[in-house]
Amino acid sequence: MDRILASMTMTYLLGTDEAGYGPKLGPLVIAASLWQVPDWSRNADWYHQLGDLVTRQAAKSQTLLPVPLADSKTLYQSGGGLARLESGLFPAMLAAGLNVDRWKDAWTAIAPHCANELLSLPWYRQFDVALPVDADPLLLQQRGRAFRLGLDQRGIRLVSIRARVVVAPQFNQLVDRWGGKGTLLSHETLQLIRDLVSPLDAEPVLVCCDKHGGRDRYGALLQHHFPEQRLEICREGRAQSIYRLGPPAGGIELRFAAKGETFLPSALASMMAKYLRELAMMAFNQFWQQHVPGLKPTAGYPADARRFFEEIDAARQRLMIPEHQVWRTR
């Protein structure tokens, strides 16, 4: 593969997405996946380009390829278990050099900057589970090897999968700091992007993100996170906002578009964000069910979150856990 990459002009593709923006309980998770591809293909339809390697559909039971990589809303159904997410995520993680088999290992590998915040809360500190939760680990390892080989043969590299996790007390603090959760989402996403692109060489980078809370203008936010870079505003509008950072040739192009998760790297990010969020909610629910017998679990969305919070309130006060550690203000 190294000889293939050396003979090509390469570019990086970076996609982001989030899970947990709307709920009142549990963390906000922002994830990103970074790929290195031949430069001529940067604007390709990657589902068409990798048609025999990836699919938007759920994996067939024992097949190795194609690997399901799609918007998490396509693959995950509440109450349906995690196997459909795991069937694509674990092969992708193996292709990126990540081999995790415990819940705590996943956070350390994928969201290393957030470990202290997670460990500050008892429902995360006291929890662990073997991974994958529902899918067959042997099949996923075989699928991962087949996927990585297929990428290698095309001169494509899945460089990294990373996330930032904003737990409730930190979420509330940042909402107060930035004045709203849409701005919080933008700042956390751009910090994740900066963390991933800063170590890269001079090859160009294309970044695609979903729009943040309906925002159309991102120039000031980009200047905040990339103050040393020349900023060019290419387009700002309801459908899409496009910016360039750095020199006209090369540099970083950022696109903020509605339904940005149709971009393959963003679809993988969507799956990772949802998976980490669901694991976090598993820990959260198990903790409170230990203290409130018969408690029905919650996904954390507003209507049911209020029911759940009221049912745990006596236990929360008995355990001397502050409200702001549990309940998100926005």
Of 214, 185, 302, 209, nearest to 261 by C-alpha is 209
Residue 326's pLDDT is 99
pLDDT, block means (10 residues), the chain with 330 residues: 60 97 98 94 88 92 93 91 97 97 94 90 96 97 98 96 98 97 97 96 92 92 97 95 90 91 93 98 98 98 97 99 97
Distance CA 104, CA 50 (A): 32
HEC-encoded secondary structure of the chain: CHHHHHCCCEEEEEEEEEECCCCCCCCEEEEEEEEEEEHHHCCCCHHHHCCCCEECCCCCCCCCCCEECCCHHHHCCCCCCCHHHHHHHHHHHHHCCCCCCEHHHHHHHHCHHHHHHHHCCHHHHCCCCECCCCCCHHHHHHHHHHHHHHHHHCCCEEEEEEEEEECHHHHHHHHHHHCCHHHHHHHHHHHHHHHHHCCCCCCCEEEEEECCCCCCCCHHHHHHHCCCCCEEEEECCCCEEEEEECCCCCCEEEEEECCHHHCHHHHHHHHHHHHHHHHHHHHHHHHHHHHCCCCCCCCCCHHHHHHHHHHHHHHHHHCCCCHHHCCCCC
Q: How many residues does the chain have?
A: 330
Which domains does the chain carry? 2-283 (3.30.420.10)
Residue 34's pLDDT is 99
Which position has the token pair 């415990």? 102
183: left (phi over 0), alpha (psi -120 to 50) or beta: alpha
Alpha carbons within 13 angstroms on the beta-carbon side of residue 74 total 17
Distance CA 232, CA 251 (A): 11
Residue 60's pLDDT is 81
Residue 278's pLDDT is 98
Say if residues 140 and 132 touch (Cβ distance below 8 Å). yes
Residue 24, classified by CB atoms within 10 Å of its CB into exposed (0-12), middle (13-18) or buried (19+), is buried
Q: Would you call the peptide bond into 132 cis, given omega within 30 degrees of 0 as the criterion? A: yes
Residue 139's pLDDT is 97
Distance CA 208, CA 139 (A): 31
